[in-house]
Amino acid sequence: MKIINLIRLAIRALQRNKLRALLTMLGIIIGVASVITMMSIGEGSKQSINASLSSMGSNMITIMPFSNEPGGARMMGSSLKTLTIKDVDALKRNAAHIAQISPLANSSGQAINGASNWPTSIQGVSPEYLEIRKLSVQDGIVFSEQDVKTSAKVCLLGKTVVDNLFPNGEDPLGKIIRFGKIPFQVIGVLVPKGQSNFGQDQDDIIIAPYTTVQKRVLSSIYFNQIYASATTEAASDEAVEEVNTTLRETHRLRADEENDFQVRTQAELMTMLNTTSSMMTALLTAVASISLVIGGIGIMNIMYVSVTERTREIGLRMSIGARGIDILLQFLIEAIMISITGGVIGVIIGISAALIIPATLNWPTIISEFSIVISFLVCAVTGIFFGYYPAVKASRLDPIEALRYE
């Protein structure tokens, strides 16, 4: 029998039980739509993370304190005290592959302007910090090296701080605010950057000279971090090597001692976050794929029912010359059509969901052609795999026994 005739027979059989066929497709539809949506969210999040980190500077290097005390838990954080201005000066002298460098002294506290106040953090840095982190001033000016030398009480405000300290739209430039008990004159407002990929408000910040924050706010000579930028992205590895060599000498570490600092590059951070994102995407996709298996089991179940219901029809067709292969192909085509049709509907729903999510939830998505192609292939394989055994059973029925079946 020609394939075209088998397809027509399969279509007629499915049309006789439209609701049952639709319910059978449901598992496939949900599975395909879920897989495409999850993969779109995963790809979108990876691109968003890469874009966000690249906007900070792909050649940025971060140096952090690190505990290497023997016999105890290793720690890394702002409470550790290993980084000082000597380290910064040594890196400026010895690290040929570092273009810019800025220390960072950070403190949390209450910012106050008259009757308005806002809990935020102040970052003490050098002017190079803005270039390293790709920050810029929207209004006003950046503090100078002279302000750093004199520990001037001047600052730059992020938009969130401006909105909360000046709720009536008053121009903050030239105004005096207090951080804790220390007065600061506002000389600039930063260009808004919005939320980071980790949900952190990047505009909820005050930036001031690091000497001012160290002396007036922290009363400490230590830094929480040191930021630097390599001369080029390709030179990041050489810059990291220079940082390690210079700081080991500055900290007088013996050859058998581990570093009391840790160096991270943007490339390492991007690789780590992309790996994590890929793992989460794979996990979510695997969970979504369970629906495809459930849909396949549904197809097998319905095909068994269909074979039982149409036993007499099968016997009649065999008695007038239909071969076993014709019966097998008929039922196999029915199973594949259910699976492929469900896959098409699932793809449409998945693409629609991937387009709706950014508009409603503000989650970035990228529709992957690979996910669509693989969904179609999986649907075809599911139809063949789960429809084959019922089709074989139908093709092996004895015509005489089938005609006697009640």
Q: What is the pLDDT of residue 405?
A: 63
Cα–Cα distance measured from residue 22 to residue 215, given in angstroms and rounded to the nearest whole number = 72
Task: Report the pLDDT value the prediction gives residue 71, as an integer from 0 to 100.
Answer: 46
Rounded Cα distance, 124 and 221, in Å: 12
Which tokens belong to 201? 């408000």
pLDDT over 90 at 11, yes or no:
no
Is residue 73 very low, low, confident or very high in pLDDT (cuts 50, 70, 90)?
very low
The verdict on pTM exceeding 0.85 is no
CA atoms of 297 and 385, how far apart (whole Å): 10
Say whether pLDDT at 272 is over 80: no
Residue 328 has pLDDT above 90, yes or no: no
pLDDT digits (tens, 9 = 90+) for 147-160: 999 999 999 999 99
Q: Which has more pLDDT, 246 or 75? A: 246
| Max avg pLDDT among 67-76, 352-361, 384-393 | 352-361
The residue type found at 342 is G
* Residue 196: φ, ψ to 5°: -80, 175
Torsion sign (Cα): 84, 85, 89, 91? positive
Q: Please return the burial class of 126, using the count of CB atoms within 10 Å of its CB with bins 0-12, 13-18 and 19+.
A: buried
276: Cα separation from own chain's centroid: 8
Tens digits of residue pLDDT in 358-374:
888 888 888 888 888 88
Q: Give tens-digit pLDDT for 201-236.
A: 889 999 999 999 999 999 999 999 999 999 887 888
Q: Does the structure show a pLDDT above 60 at 294? A: yes
Higher pLDDT, residue 381 or 239? 239
The percent of residues above 90 in pLDDT, for the chain, comes to 41
- Identify the pLDDT of residue 140: 95
